[in-house]
Structure 1
Amino acid sequence: MKSIFPEASGCITHRQLSVAFVQGSPNHGGPAWVFVASTPRSSAGHAQGILERLDAGEIVIGDGGFVIALEKRGYVKAGPWTPEAAVEHPEAVRQLHREFLRAGSNVLQTFTFYASDDKLENRGNYVAAKFSSQKVNEAACDIAKEVAQEGDVLVAGGVSQTPSYLSGKSEADVKTIFRKQLEVFQKKNVDFMIAEYFEHVEEATWAVETLKESGKPIAATMCIGPEGDMHGVLPGECAVRLVKAGASIVGVNCHFDPETCLKTMKLMKEGLQAAKLKAHLMSQPLAFHTPDCGKQGFIDLPEFPFALEPRILTRWDVHKYAREAYNLGIRYIGGCCGFEPYHIRAIAEELAPERGFLPQASAKHGSWGNGLSMHTKPWIRARARKEYWENLLPASGRPYCPSLSKPDSWGVTKGDAELVQQKEATSEDQLKELFQKRSQIQHRT
Structure 2
Amino acid sequence: MSTVKGLRERLRNGENVVCAEGYMWELERRGFVCSGDFTPEVVLDYPERVRALHEEFVLAGTDVVEAFTYYAHEAKLESIGRESDFADLNLNSLRMAREIADRYGKLMAGNICNSTSFDPGDPENVARTKNMFKIQIEWAVQGKADYIIAETFNELAEAKLALQAIQEYGSGLPAVVTMAPYSKDVTLDNVHLPEALRQLEVAGADVVGLNCARGPETMMPLLQEARKLCKGPLAALPACFRTNQKEMCYYQLTDPKDGKPLFPANLCCVQSSREDIRKFAEQARQLGVAYIGLCCGATPSLLREVVQAYGRSPELSRFSPNTSRNYYMKSNLSARELRIRNLLFGDISGQV
If the length of structure 1 is used for normalisation, what is the TM-score? 0.69
Aligned partners of 2:218 and 2:245 also within 8 Å: no
- Aligned 8 A contact 1:159 1:181 in 2: yes
Task: Say whether residues 1:143 and 2:96 are aligned partners.
Answer: yes
* 1:48-95 CA distance string (max 9 Å, x none): 101111111112111131111111212111122111111111100000
Q: CA deviation at 1:236?
A: 2.2
Aligned match of 1:173: 128
Matches within 5 A, 1:224-243: 224=181, 227-243=185-201
Residue-by-residue CA offset, 1:116-168 (whole Å, 9 max, x unaligned): 1112103xx12113x2x111111110111111123221111111111330596
Letter in 1 for 2:159: A
Partner of 1:113: 70
Q: Structure 1 pair 312/358, CA: closer, same or farther in 2 (3 Å)?
A: same
Q: Which amino acid counterpart does residue 249 of structure 1 have in structure 2?
A: V
Residue 76 of structure 1 pairs with residue 55 of structure 2: no
The residue correspondences of 1:41-80 to structure 2 (distance < 5 A) are 46-80=3-37
Taking a change above 3 Å as real, the CA distance of residues 287 and 167 of structure 1, as seen in their structure-2 partners, is same
Structure 2: gaps of 5 or more residues: 254-260, 332-352
Match among 296, 299, 305 for residue 251 of structure 2: 299
Q: What is the aligned partner in structure 2 of residue 340 from structure 1?
A: 299
Structure 2 match to 1:254: 212
The equivalent of 1:364 in structure 2 is: 319
Residue 334 of structure 2 is aligned to residue 376 of structure 1: no
| Secondary structure at 1:240 match in 2 | helix
What amino acid sits opposite 1:270 in the alignment? K
| Greater Rg by CA | 1
User: In the alignment, is the contact (CA less than 8 A) between 1:64 and 1:344 conserved in 2?
Assistant: no
* In structure 1, C-alpha distance between the alignment counterparts of 2:130 and 2:161, rounded to whole Å: 6
CA distance in 1, matches of 2:267, 2:206: 33
- Which of 84, 95, 112 in structure 2 is aligned with 1:159? 112
The aligned residue for residue 211 of structure 1 is 166
Counterpart of 1:78 in structure 2: which amino acid?
S
Aligned-residue RMSD, C-alpha: 1.9
Contact 1:114 1:160 in 2 (8 A): yes
- Provide the identity percentage: 32
Moved more, 306-315 or 213-222: 306-315
Say if 1:86 and 1:140, in contact at 8 Å, map to a contact too: yes
Q: CA deviation at 1:169?
A: 4.2
- For residues 191 and 74 of structure 1, the distance between their equivalents in structure 2, rounded to whole angstroms, comes to 30
Measure the CA separation in 1 of the matches of 2:3 and 2:68: 25
Is 2:47 the counterpart of 1:95? no
Q: Name the count of aligned residue pairs.
A: 319
Does the CA contact (< 8 Å) of 2:66 and 2:97 recur in 1?
yes
Preserved CA contact (<8 Å) 1:64 1:340: no
Q: What is the deviation of 1:332?
A: 0.8
**Ranges in structure 1 where 5+ consecutive residues have no aligned partner:** 1-44, 273-277, 383-445
Report the Cα distance in structure 2 between the residues aligned to 1:308 and 1:338, rounded to whole angstroms.
9
Once the two structures are superposed, residues 11-57 of structure 1 have per-residue CA deviations (whole angstroms, 9 ceiling, x without a partner) of xxxxxxxxxxxxxxxxxxxxxxxxxxxxxxxxxx9321011111111
Q: Which amino acid aligns with 2:324?
A: S
- CA–CA separation in structure 2 for the residues paired with 1:245 and 1:85: 35
| Amino acid across the alignment from 2:114 | Q
Does 1:329 find its partner at 2:280? no
Q: What amino acid does structure 2 have at the position aligned with 1:381?
A: K
Q: Distance in 2 between matches of 1:230 and 1:293?
A: 20
Question: Could you list the per-position Cα deviations for residues 381-402 of structure 1 after superposition, in whole angstroms to 9, with x for gaps in the alignment?
Answer: 25xxxxxxxxxxxxxxxxxxxx
Output the CA distance in 1 between the equivalents of 2:60 and 2:202.
Answer: 34
Q: Please state how far the C-alpha of 1:246 moved relative to its aligned partner.
A: 2.2
Matched, 1:134 2:87: yes
Separation of aligned partners in 1, 2:186 and 2:287? 19
| Shift in Å, 1:323 | 0.6
The letter of the residue matching 2:305 is A
Counterparts of 1:393-432 in structure 2, within 5 Å, are: none
Q: For 2:193 and 2:154, locate their aligned partners in 1 and report how far apart those are by CA, in whole Å.
A: 11
